[in-house]
Amino acid sequence: MCGIIAITTRRKTNVSKMITSGLKRLEYRGYDSVGIATISEGKIQTMKDAGTIDQVTSRLSFDTLEGSTGIGHTRWATHGPPTRINAHPHADCSDSLMVVHNGIIDNYLSLRNDLKKQGHKFKSETDTEVLAHLIEEEFKSEKGPNAVIQAFKKALDKIEGTYAITLIHTADPTKIFLARKDSPLVIGVQDDTKFAASDIPAFLEYTKNAIVLKNGEVATLTPEAVYIEKNGFRVQPKPFIVSWTAESAQKSGYPHFMLKEIHEQPIALQNTLNVNVKALEEATKRILEAEKIIILAAGTSYHAGLSGYYQFQRLLKQKPIYPIIASEYETYNHLVDENTCILAVSQSGETLDVMKGLTAARKAGAKIISIANVIDSSIPRLSQVALYTKAGPEIGVAATKTHTAQVALLARLSLQLEYSLNVWNQQEFSSIITDFTSEVPSITRTVINQNEFKAKQLASIISDQNHSYFLARGKNLPIAMEGALKLKEISYIHAEAFPAGESKHGPIAIVEPKFPVFIISPKDETRKKMFSNSEEMKARGGYIISITHKDQEIVKRSDQSFLIPESSSPLITPISYVIPLQMISYYAAVHRGFDPDKPKNLAKTVTVE
């Protein structure tokens, strides 16, 4: 939530153009307002306004901002509506400094009152502006070459909450100052240019050398150097080379990132299933050693975790396993002790609800395994074992390729568990893994190719509807839940998923002619009961859309059917079945005239509670 980019360069160039292109790559993190500030000839220049980057750049010429040091921000509003005044960057009273911030300053009201009493004049309703005035206030009593960083650190000591901050100051015009607590910041390194950003794609077109700023660290960037400190001591930076390509963060001819990312699934799955076997074995050992397992995640990642839950409980029979929505963690904290293993699932690796749960669980002595897509992000760093999906950067706000990659990795983990539990001998296991690894990407490719046209047609049929249901039973429930989340978040058609048997306990009351009812019905133990549940809906006029393994019994009860090839393993079902639902949601959003990459009120990487 909120995208930050800061650049300082020795080159004789205006950084405003580079900052604008970096902001475009961060727009998935927030798009209700945007702004840039630079320092040129010792003076701050700034432009900002409400709207998306395209809307704002059609009114303001960011490119005309001069200077080779600057910061930019794309906002997802928390404090104060999305207006020009509330857009970042925020200045102090004398326009000698500018800050951009991602996170929430919990004690901003009391700080604001104190600062007002000291004579500071506030312009915006944001929590962030407090920072600018606090630094200004602290700077008054600082002298010498380190005055800005000293004032910055003193201001940080006074704030409570979460933050990723970048600061520029006319007293130190070629430097950028950064700090992080629970909101991500990554540094990009080139010989004569340094970057700081909320996420790697922001600077990927310039450099692949990166350093993750860790919690509690404060950094100073000059065009030539990176200086990091924590609690007053210098920290040796640990640079790494990013494996993502610049092209992977571009639309490459697709109209939207979401469609591109749906189509990237075969390769994302192939890469993900090329696993780090050592880490997988270590995760398996921890799961088997633990007395109980908690699966912790939010949103789409929670649905992947829920698929994992159904796989694990089949194998671990007596062991308690609790799938928990991360924001609800506190309710379950009493279950957690040193014999608990937490399995955290997160695309970004930065979701604050998950991080808060993990921090509490660590205090209780729990061991942590994580699945994340972003290398070295906060959640893997809180873990004893870090497993990675290798889906590449996901820019569309709605998670697609990272979801199927999470499900695939969890399925692979459950196969590893089967092996450790002696369900298979070595030879059988090798052949199962070979088949699984090749079948997952190839079925995914087939499902995309065979169903995209139909998904587009169906989207136009259901686009005038305001409500829809997604029904499944047992282990197929996460597929229905994910289908409903995708449809509602980008097309704004209200969508609800529930166990099919629950229909007659309430939800069927609102079914009327043309009401879309999605029936998730693979050829498994749930299928016969799904027949009668679809009949009940059809009898009330429901428009039945089934996702099925060419099951004629279900096809003949449906108005539309999406046919999924059968596979050698039921573990593939939650991957292959979700794909038509992603495509229907995408085309429904487009048909209704909405941008699927930027759903209203949402942003990717939720770094607030």
What is the rounded CA–CA span in Å between residue 539 and residue 534? 9
d(CA 301, CA 88): 30
Nearer to ligand F6R, 265 or 346 (CB): 346
d(CA 301, CA 303): 5
Output the DSSP codes for 153-172: HHHHHH--EEEEEEEEETTS
Nearer to ligand F6R, 16 or 265 (CB): 265
Q: Which residue is nearest to ligand F6R (CB)?
A: 299
Residue 545 C-beta: closest distance to ligand F6R, Å: 20
Tell me: cis bond preceding 507? Omega within 30 of 0 counts.
no
Q: Which residues have CB under 8 Å from 198's CB, separation 6+?
A: 2, 3, 4, 5, 26, 29, 102, 164, 183, 184, 185, 186, 605
Q: What angle do CA 51, 19, 3 make, to 5 degrees?
A: 55
**Side by side, which strands form the sheet with 226-230?**
90-91, 97-105, 161-169, 176-181, 217-221, 226-230, 233-235
Residue closer to ligand F6R by CB (options 280, 606) is: 606
**Of 7 and 386, which has the nearer Cβ to ligand F6R?**
386
> Smallest distance from the beta carbon of 376 to ligand F6R, in angstroms?
15
Smallest distance, Å, CB 510 to ligand F6R?
25
The yes-or-no answer on residue 260 being catalytic is no
Q: Cα separations (Å) of 270 from 374, 439, 448?
A: 17, 9, 15
Task: Select 266 or 483, whichever has its Cβ closest to ligand F6R.
Answer: 483
CB 411 within 8 A of CB 389: no
Q: What is the closest distance, in whole angstroms, from the C-beta atom of residue 377 to ligand F6R in the complex?
A: 9
Spell out the SS3 assignment of 287-330: HHHCCEEEEEECHHHHHHHHHHHHHHHHHHCCCCEEEEEHHHHH
Concatenating the DSSP letter of every residue in 510-522 gives G--TT-EEEEEE-
Q: Which of 83, 48, 53 is nearest to 65 (CA)?
A: 48
Alpha carbons 383 and 342: distance in angstroms, whole number: 9
Residue number, 284 or 301, with CB nearest to ligand F6R: 301
Adjacent-strand bridge partners of 210: 188, 240
Minimum distance, C-beta of residue 222 to ligand F6R, in the bound complex (Å)? 32
Nearer to ligand F6R, 38 or 348 (CB): 348
Nearest distance from residue 416's CB to ligand F6R, in Å?
22
Q: Are 295 and 323 in contact (CB under 8 A)?
A: yes
Please identify, using beta-carbon distances, which residue of 5 and 487 lies nearer to ligand F6R.
487
Cβ of residue 295: shortest distance to ligand F6R, in angstroms?
13
Annotated catalytic residue: which of 2, 175, 194, 341?
Answer: 2
Question: From the CB of 489, what's the least distance to ligand F6R, in Å?
Answer: 6
Q: What residues contact residue 31 under an 8 Å CB cut-off, 6+ apart?
A: 52, 53, 74, 75, 76, 598, 603
The contact set with ligand F6R (CB under 6 A) reads: 298-301, 346-348, 351, 354, 398-399, 485, 489, 605-606
Given the DSSP bridges, would you call strands 543-548 and 516-521 parallel, antiparallel or unpaired? Answer: parallel
- Annotated catalytic residue 93: no
Among candidate residues 175, 181, 390, 604, the one labeled active-site is: 604
How far apart are alpha carbons 213 and 184 in whole angstroms? 8
In the block, residue with structure tokens 């980057």: 53
The two structure tokens encoding residue 325: 């929505």
Show which residues are catalytic: 2, 604
